[in-house]
Homo-oligomer: A and B are copies of this chain.
Amino acid sequence: MTRQKERSRFPEIGDGSGLGPPDAFYREEVALALRNRGMPLEGLRYPTTPTGMHYLLVHFDIPYIEAGEWRLEVAGMLKKPVSLSLEDLRSRPAVRMPVTMECAGNGRALLEPRPVSQPWHLEAVGTAEWTGTPLRDVLLEAGVKEEAGEILFTGLDRGVQGDEVQDYQRSLTVDEAMREDVLLVYEMNGRPLEPQHGYPVRLLVPGWYGMTSVKWLARIEAIRGPFEGYQMVGSYRYSQNADDLGEPVTLQKVRSLMVPPGIPDFVTRVRLVEAGEVTLRGRAWAGRTEVAGVEVSADGGDSWSKASLEEPVGSVAWRGWRYVWPARPGRYQLCVRARDSEGNMQPFDQPWTYQGMGNNMVQRVDVIVE
């Protein structure tokens, strides 16, 4: 995948590829951070993230959609293509489940050198109760033909990325799309989706990073595949440079985060903590696998103590953890790390990739105990 600089439509501004300076962020990165939003980490207190606190990444613009005029076209290599209204979907069997969603670029801005894109630190995560109807049954009724290898999902958001004008599109293999927990979702936390979360209907693929759960769904198409659109081969890759195609980004990795304890400084966010027994708490998740353990360090990662675990909020959702820290006056760097049931552990130093995808480095929180 070679970037074609000579064909850039915005040569005077740059196309956002390349790497940023070490200690300074571009205005374009700040503008993205102001549009997209993280979950403030104190939001880890809630087993289900309030809707307006959930992280959000919008590639292009939030489209304005009148639900009465909206249809979902299910087409392509099918025996019985179908066009569905919102009411059609709502009248089908409903499934409600809590799902932890995370952006594939979470942690990107902590890499060095820094890939230039949405400059996430650690907050691109959230857990909502999603309600929808299984895609599997819609596909079974439509009859996916033998020659189809993938299902292609097209959203109504449209824009330019990597010099390509495009609708936002992602594909899944037919096997993935037929999993029972893949849903066509029309409610978040018991209410119709807000526009920025995909109203009227979005895809939900539990366990994958968020880019797969296409918002503002317009079309579902059975294709031979593999689909090679920008969001499959130009982005969401574990690559080492602009010319390296790399491997595709897929499932969420194991990760834990803590609620920063004490009180913050407004600008620096450094924490001031009262000496005494401080209950550190947070949540951990591992995509489709399970969180097997969480450990906390109060000395910047030199020594680790085991945290206690709560039951998971759902089968593909985070679980709470707690650890009582005897805090004495001084300066500390608190860290938390989790491992999953397959033995994977969060890295202390993040292996670097060119697009800054799939990071799960250990969180570090600077605190002053008084």
Counting CB contacts under 8 A, is A40 at the interface?
yes
Q: Which residues of B contact A117 (CB under 8 A)?
A: 267
Closest to A160 in B: B265
Interface centre among A16, A21, A61, A158 (most CB of B within 10 A): A61
Does A159 make an interface contact (CB < 8 A)? yes
Contacting residue for A30 out of B25, B40, B58, B195, CB 8 A: B25
Task: Give A54 to B197 CA distance when docked, in angstroms.
Answer: 13
Whether B40 pairs with A266 at a CB distance below 8 angstroms is: no
A263: min CB distance to chain B, Å:
5
B-contacting residues, A153-169, CB 8 Å: 158-161, 165
A52 / chain B contacts, CB cutoff of 8 Å? 51-54, 56, 194, 196-197
One digit per residue, 1 when the CB lies within 8 angstroms of any chain B CB and 0 when it does not, for chain A 1-31 equals 0000000011001111000010111111111
Partner of A62, one of B14, B38, B42, B116: B42
Q: Which B residues lie within 8 Å of A121 (CB)? A: 30-31, 34
Asked if B23 and A27 make an inter-chain contact with CB atoms under 8 angstroms apart, the answer reads yes
A59 interface residue per 8 A CB criterion: yes
A303 at the interface (CB under 8 A from B): no
Does A264 lie at the interface of the complex (its beta carbon under 8 Å from any beta carbon of B)? yes
- A259 shortest CB reach to chain B, Å: 9
Q: Are A32 and B64 in contact (CB under 8 A)?
A: no
* B28/A29 in contact, CB under 8 A: no
A53 and B194 contacting across the interface, CB-CB below 8 Å? yes
Chain B proximity of A194: nearest CB distance (Å): 4
| Cβ-defined contact, A123 with B34, below 8 A | yes
Instruction: Render A36-66 as a binary contact track against B, CB cut-off 8 A, 1 for contact.
Output: 0110101101100011111010111110100
Q: Per a CB cutoff under 8 Å, which of B158, B191, B197, B265 touches A161? A: B265
Q: Which of B21, B32, B58 contacts A267 (CB 8 A)?
A: B32
How far, in Å, is A87 (CB) from chain B's closest CB? 21
Q: Is A232 an interface residue (CB 8 A)?
A: no
Q: Are B160 and A263 interface neighbours, CB within 8 A?
A: yes
Contacts of A34 in B (CB 8 A): 33, 37-38, 119-121, 123
A296 within 8 A of B: no
Bound-state Cα–Cα, A103 to B368, Å? 30
Counting CB contacts under 8 A, is A270 at the interface? yes
A157 to chain B, nearest CB (A): 9
Query: A84-135: which residues lie under 8 A (CB-CB) from chain B?
Result: 109, 116-117, 119-121, 123
Residues of B within 8 A of A56 (CB): 52
Cβ contacts under 8 Å, A31 to chain B: 121, 269
Residues of B within 8 A of A280 (CB): none
A30-B33, A270-B13 as given contacts; A263 in contact with B165, CB under 8 Å = yes
B28 touches A268 (CB 8 A): yes
User: Which A-B residue pairs are the 6 nearest by beta carbons?
Assistant: A16-B267, A24-B24, A52-B52, A33-B33, A37-B37, A161-B266
A-B contacts, 23 of them at CB < 8 A, read A10-B268, A14-B268, A23-B27, A24-B26, A25-B25, A25-B27, A27-B109, A28-B267, A30-B121, A33-B33, A33-B34, A34-B37, A35-B38, A40-B58, A42-B62, A43-B195, A45-B64, A51-B51, A51-B194, A52-B53, A52-B196, A53-B196, A191-B191
